[in-house]
Amino acid sequence: MKGLYFFFFFFYEEITFVFQERENLPVTEDNFVKLQVKACALSQINTKLLAEMKMKKDLFPVGREIAGIVLDVGSKVSFFQPDDEVVGILPLDSEDPGLCEVVRVHEHYLVHKPEKVTWMEAAGSIRDGVRAYTALHYLSHVSPGKSVLIMDGASAFGTIAIQLAHHRGAKVISTACSLEDKQCLERFRPPIARVIDVSNGKVHVAESCLEETGGLGVDIVLDAGVRLYSKDDEPAVKLQLLPHKHDIITLLGVGGHWVTTEENLQLDPPDSHCLFLKGATLAFLNDEVWNLSNVQQGKYLSTYLKGCDGEVINWCFQTSVG
């Protein structure tokens, strides 16, 4: 039985993919589940994180978001039984690649798959579904009547976040990075309050948001990255598509929540003082926060998945392919 792995040369930062013959999986024991893989999603390989965690081994497995059928369970497994249909995310230190016929995974990394969701939809949307739910529910506490700015709304993450926000009764504003993205967002039902086309670099996001909210600012911002420096120090593409950090602070309302994916965000004292005056909060959305592995981190992911099962799994699986 073969699986797909990659060599990562840390010094040269180069990746080489290879199919590797795998030995038979060990007997399923304790809290582990043997799973027949039906679908696997390919997400970007975060080589920088692997280097920071000093995970220097010969081969790294490829493919982590999986959906499949339970073949066997260990003696301590409490959530699953053979023939259950499940979906989940393999940990960073998993020895088994998702791109393989059969994998062995701890039960805390899995959740039951809804019957009407296909294998491909389940594997393809579980990661962004958990990210969107984390950002809106745990980090910003979205509720009915809140205004939410979702940057790059036509992305997989943005699509799910928009529909989750609508599901919670929030008013959604979103940005579009191209004409195609704008047309896609304008077809949403219920409709998005305002779609801001930033593809030409001429529209000011902060002004548009303040206009839409009557000068009060938005309650929640989910960014897709921000510019940190002046125009002279930023690449042309980043200048065109991303707002400056000062714009985000300007458009944020009193008591607002800013959820950022910018891992190198730097705030100067005046920026911090402005956030302080607004009573605003800043949270970082780390893609791997639930999945840096060991059993305790696995329980963290399991808590997210099972806690939002009815909303992310049943509601949001369809949104990423809708």
Point out the domain boundary residue: 45, 79, 113. 113
147-159 pLDDT tens trace: 999 999 999 899 9
| pLDDT score recorded for residue 27 | 60
| pLDDT score recorded for residue 319 | 43
Q: Specify the long-range contacts of residues 54-57, CB closer than 8 Å, at least 24 apart.
A: 55/92, 55/93, 56/10
The number of beta carbons lying within 10 Å of the beta carbon of residue 17 is: 10
Res. 237: pLDDT tops 80 = no
How far apart, in whole angstroms, are the C-alpha atoms of residue 148 and residue 75?
Answer: 45
Q: DSSP character for 281?
A: E
Task: Say yes or no: 133 and 108 in one domain.
Answer: no
How far apart, in whole angstroms, are the C-alpha atoms of residue 258 and residue 225?
Answer: 12
33-69 pLDDT tens trace: 889 999 998 877 776 776 666 666 667 778 889 999 9
| pLDDT score recorded for residue 115 | 85
In a domain, 195, yes or no: yes
| Residues 6 or more apart whose Cβ sits within 8 Å of residue 282 | 258, 260, 265, 267, 275
Task: Say yes or no: 131 and 167 in one domain.
Answer: yes
Task: Say yes or no: 171 and 240 in one domain.
Answer: yes
Burial 233-253 (b: 16+ CB within 10 A, else e): eeeeeebebbbbbbbbbbbbb
In a domain, 293, yes or no: no
Pick the range with the lowest mean pLDDT from 108-117, 204-213, 294-303.
Answer: 294-303
| pLDDT score recorded for residue 194 | 92
| pLDDT score recorded for residue 299 | 47
CB 151, CB 243: distance < 8 Å: yes
In a domain, 292, yes or no: no
Point out the domain boundary residue: 91, 113, 135. 113
Res. 246: pLDDT tops 80 = yes
Task: Say yes or no: 62 and 97 in one domain.
Answer: yes
Domain count, the chain: 2
Whichever domain contains 258, its CATH number is: 3.40.50.720
In a domain, 295, yes or no: no
Task: Say yes or no: 203 and 260 in one domain.
Answer: yes
When pLDDT is averaged across residues 136-163 and rounded to a whole number, the result is 92
| pLDDT score recorded for residue 143 | 93
Share of the chain above pLDDT 70, in %: 75
Per-residue tokens: 187: 């077809």
Q: Helix, strand, or coil here: 120?
A: helix
How far apart, in whole angstroms, are the C-alpha atoms of residue 106 and residue 104?
Answer: 7
Pick the range with the lowest mean pLDDT from 104-108, 166-170, 231-235, 282-286.
Answer: 231-235
Task: Say yes or no: 144 and 249 in one domain.
Answer: yes
Task: Say yes or no: 213 and 258 in one domain.
Answer: yes
In a domain, 197, yes or no: yes
DSSP string over 135-184: IIIIIS---TT-EEEETTTTSHHHHHHHHHHHHTT-EEEEEESSHHHHHH
Task: Say yes or no: 146 and 204 in one domain.
Answer: yes
Task: Say yes or no: 9 and 61 in one domain.
Answer: yes
In a domain, 256, yes or no: yes
Task: Say yes or no: 266 and 158 in one domain.
Answer: yes
Of these ranges, 12-16, 241-245, 252-256, 286-290, the one predicted with the greatest mean pLDDT is 252-256
Res. 287: pLDDT tops 60 = yes
Q: Which one is predicted more confidently, 299 or 157? A: 157
Pick the range with the lowest mean pLDDT from 26-35, 69-78, 194-203.
Answer: 26-35
According to DSSP, the β-strands at 65-73 and 32-41 are antiparallel
Instruction: Give the pTM.
Output: 0.81
301-319 pLDDT tens trace: 444 444 444 444 454 444 4
Point out the domain boundary residue: 113, 141, 169. 113
The number of beta carbons lying within 10 Å of the beta carbon of residue 230 is: 9
DSSP string over 51-83: HHTT---S-EE---EEEEEEEEE-TT--S--TT
In a domain, 302, yes or no: no
CB 65, CB 37: distance < 8 Å: no
How far apart, in whole angstroms, are the C-alpha atoms of residue 89 and residue 126?
Answer: 8
| pLDDT score recorded for residue 281 | 94
| pLDDT score recorded for residue 28 | 67
Task: Say yes or no: 277 and 132 in one domain.
Answer: yes
Residue span of the structural domain in which 171 resides: 127-284
Task: Say yes or no: 265 and 161 in one domain.
Answer: yes
14 pLDDT tier (thresholds 50, 70, 90)? low
254-281 pLDDT tens trace: 999 999 998 889 899 999 999 999 999 9
In a domain, 90, yes or no: yes
Whichever domain contains 87, its CATH number is: 3.90.180.10
